Structure 1
Amino acid sequence: HNRGDRVNFGVKMAGQALGVYTKNFFTRTDTKADVMLYPQKPIVNTMMGRNMLDEHPQGQNIIMAIMSFKGYNMEDGIVFNKASIERGFGRSIFFRTYVVEEKKYWGIERDEIKIPDKSVSGYRTEEAYANLSADGIINREVDVQSGDVLVGRISPLRFFGPVENFMMETENRRETSEIIRHGEEGIVDNVIITETINGNKLAKVVVRSERVPELGDKFASRHGQKGVIALIVPEEDMPFTEDGITPDVILNPHAVPSRMTIGQLLEIIAGKVGAFRGEIDASAFNESVTEESLRKALKDLGFEDDGREVMYDGVTGKKFESGILIGPCFYQKLHHMVANKIHSRARGPVTLLTKQPTAGRAKQGGLRLGEMEKDCLVAHGTALLLKERFDSDKSTIPICQSCGMVAIEDRTKGKRYCNVCKKSKIVDVEMSYAFKLMLDELKCMGVYPKIKV
């Protein structure tokens, strides 16, 4: 009963839905894994669903109302009932495995898994290694925060000086411990110590964290109707029916007409009948379950045949003018969770080449102020802010007053001179380091860029 493109979307999102992907997940060491707590079989099921998904369910049956809610569920925003979340709806556990290997290098050089000594290069603090046991590996069921050490490890230096050639002293080792990723936290679920195929010692630490639905988490029904949580409302403020039933989820009515997901409406009606009479077989081309038969079944149960009910505003207690479609629906939590994506930065690392902030969440990177953002600042006339933002890589460069080329500063001898005209009349000019790089690029192409000072 859905358009073809919505069927494709629905199938794609079913692949992203959390469930019980395997029954032995607690003994596995997958790099990343999400496991749904309290998964259920859908009330409205199909033949394929029974054959394949009853053993590995990937969603929960919830009460859904299709109505507007004070403008908070515009543009695929979803309004959630806070009490439903507290009762366990949409909860999942996220597992991440950290792998540490004692690698072997040239000659007798190799890594060592142990608590690093204070003499090691890059030693953190005593508190950082407080959770490690005597063998340098963390214990189970320990709470860990971002930056905590899971496995202590020391490695040989990458580069040897003339004095240190191939010495195995502790002072000539560096700290390469495995730490919790930036922005993550959890509890150590499992620790496995084994060997690689080459006979190197291998430690695997599995960290688990409970994920409770929060603003920005993505959910979807089986009809390609995806959305993110826009508001979590206390149960007492949610609309309610004459029987006192409050919905778990409120979906915007504008999500249905243009997308023509009639299957979504039929599922709610069928779910209502199925909740009283048992599972509904909604397999394709099953002629025993039709819109007419579902309408008749609802009438026989004492409901309106279109599934609508009289509802009241939870805040004012006033009756809504229109009847509202409400009933059970199978809902899936997708692995796009805001906890995995949220990112901000005030200060942090910069790249060696451009002296600008690094890119990407994993590297604690900055958020790029692009051309279009620049146009907004220009339109607002914020000249000083524009200059300040574009000077994140501000540098002071010595420039020759005679020829306008970038000069050389010899800090060991305390001299400044121009390598082109050999004069020493040098002035400091503030500029973006990216501009200095552009000057270097032009020189490579045989162009002679002069700076007038």
Structure 2
Amino acid sequence: MVELRKIEKLVRAEKKGFINKRDKFLVELLQGKKCSGTVKDSKGKIVFQKGKKITEEKCKKVNFGNLVFPEKAVYGKVNINGIYEKYNDHIEKLNVFYRRKKENKISGDELPYGVIEKIKVFIAERRRLSVGDKLSGRHGNKGVIARIVPEEDMPYMENGTPVDIILNPLGVPSRMNLGQILETHLGWAAQTLGYKVETPVFEGATVDEIKTELKKAQLSTDGKTVLFDGFTGDPFKSKVTVGYAYIMKLSHMVDDKIHARSSGPYSLITQQPLGGKAQFGGQRFGEMEVWALQAYGAAYTLQEILTVKSDDVSGRTHLYESIIKGENLPEPGLPASFNVLIKELQGLCLDIELGKDKI
């Protein structure tokens, strides 16, 4: 019932928000106005006297939820009872939503047949970064870790500080997300001067302001510095942009993605292996991959991939038997996709017969 309590808490907070909004609106509307009719609370006690001015102090002390306004109470062009009706409708909708959720939880409409209550257990685990994990900055500059090397092999600055991460500069021009460069420059200046930076979305720090901060920090105004090769100790020919930027680890981790298939389920329609890790599927060998093998002249590899490893039903069965028995591998047969081609041609009134004579 934890979920139910969460929903109840949300509904309560939403109701409170609606009531606060209503009360604020009524205070703004009524204060300073003369009361056109006597307003009482739910117990019949007079709260606002007819003809008297409504003060802000009086409004703050009043519980607007208990007030009963005259039927035609209009201030300016606003009908007070109309406001109450509008907000009461909202609150009633929230109550209906909560009641439905509660009924579903108790009756178990959303649970499978025979299940009284379902409990989900989530287990968190800490993982170290590994090659293939996905990282991203805050400018859409996502990427995959290509290599992890010891700290002493990383390029280092003149003072001996090694860099933490190396990003490919070719990821900037085509995407035109220059914010990542500016963030890196400003981050370096802020870290050196010992303060944190917060810039608005549309009125962020300008290039001139960033240059000024770099100058204050006694850093190069172009944000670049000389880096030294971690292996040889020699300086790189060109200066390199160095700085501080937020890098986030995304949920796409290689430990969850890695997948291999020996034999497994096949599609009933195409007779080709299913796709995806969840289905224990195979890797798609597409048009461009076929071109690559054709370019290398790897004819037998290509034949194997397009027949016995894919939709040659009899061929893959005989191949499996041969491997188990330790016999020579049989010749590939016809892939099921060939039958599809024949059927399509028949649909165009073109009949094809397979001949037995060798060409």
TM-score (norm 2): 0.53
CA distance in 2 between counterparts of 1:229 and 1:294 reads: 29
Please say if residues 139 and 180 of structure 2, whose CA atoms lie closer than 8 Å, have aligned partners that are also in contact. Answer: yes
Alignment match of 2:146 (pick from 225, 230, 255): 230
- Residue 323 of structure 1 is matched in structure 2 by 239
1:431 aligned partner, one-letter code: L
Contact 2:307 2:333 in 1 (8 A): no
In structure 1, the partner of 2:334 is: 431
Identify the residue that residue 249 of structure 2 maps to in structure 1: 333
Equivalent of residue 258 in structure 2, options 342, 355, 378: 342
**What is the count of residue pairs matched by the alignment?**
231
Q: Which residue of 220, 225, 240 maps to 2:136?
A: 220
Write the letter of the residue equivalent to 1:274. A
Contact 1:195 1:202 in 2 (8 A): no
For the pair 1:305 / 2:210, whether they are aligned, the reply is no
Structure 1 residues 222-254: Cα deviation after superposition (integer angstroms, max 9, x where no partner): 223222212212100111112222111112233
Q: Tell me whether 1:279 sits opposite 2:190 in the alignment.
A: no
Which residue of 174, 179, 185 maps to 1:269?
185
Deviation at 1:351, TM superposition (A): 3.3
Could you give the per-residue CA deviations for residues 56-99 of structure 1, whole angstroms, max 9, x where no partner exists? xxxxxxxxxxxxxxxxxxxxxxxxxxxxxxxxxxxxxxxxxxxx
1:394 equivalent in alignment to 2:297: no
Show the counterpart of 1:254: 170
Match for 2:208 among 281, 288, 292?
Answer: 292
Distance 1:293 1:395 in 2: 68
Long gaps (5+) in structure 1: 1-23, 29-193, 398-428
Greater strand fraction, Structure 1 or Structure 2:
1
Deviations 1:5-39 (A, max 9, x none): xxxxxxxxxxxxxxxxxxx9xx99xxxxxxxxxxx
After superposition, the Cα gap between the structure-2 partners of 1:311 and 1:345, relative to the gap in structure 1 and judged at 3 Å, is same
d(CA) in 2 for partners of 1:448, 1:259:
52
Code of the residue aligned with 1:342 in structure 2: it is I
CA deviations over 1:389-442 (Å, ceiling 9, x no partner):
332243559xxxxxxxxxxxxxxxxxxxxxxxxxxxxxxx95334445666788
Relative to structure 1, the CA distance from residue 367 to residue 298 in structure 2 (aligned partners, 3 Å threshold; closer, same or farther) is closer
Cα pair distance change 1:291/1:347, threshold 3 Å: same
Using CA pairs under 8 Å that are at least 6 residues apart, name the structure with larger relative contact order, 1 or 2: 1
Partner of 1:365: 281
Q: Does the 8 Å CA contact 1:195/1:201 hold for their aligned counterparts? A: no
Q: Deviations over 1:138-163 (max 9, x none)?
A: xxxxxxxxxxxxxxxxxxxxxxxxxx
Partner of 2:108: 197
Measure the CA separation in 2 of the matches of 1:374 and 1:259. Answer: 30
Q: Which has the larger radius of gyration?
A: 2
CA change 1:206–1:290 in 2 (3 A) is closer
Change (3 A) 1:269 1:361: same
Partner of 1:314: 230
Give the corresponding residue for 2:25: none
Write the mapping of 1:139-218 to structure 2, written as runs, cut at 5 A. Answer: 197-198=108-109, 200-218=116-134
Match of 1:73 in 2: none
Structure 2 partner of 1:242: 158
Question: Secondary structure of 2:124's partner?
Answer: strand
**1:188-245: CA deviations, max 9, x gaps?**
xxxxxx9871562424232434333222222222223222212212100111112222
CA distance in 1, matches of 2:291, 2:118: 52
Deviation at 1:363, TM superposition (A): 0.9
Equivalent pair of 2:228/2:234 in contact (CA under 8 Å): yes
Q: 1:351 is matched with which residue? A: 267
Kept in 1: contact 2:290–2:302 (CA 8 A): yes
Distance, in Å, in 2 between the alignment partners of 1:386 and 1:357 is 17
How far has the Cα of 1:365 moved from its partner?
A: 1.1
Say which SS state the counterpart of residue 148 (structure 2) adopts: strand
Question: TM-score, with normalisation over the residues of structure 1?
Answer: 0.43
> 1: distance between equivalents of 2:133 and 2:267?
32
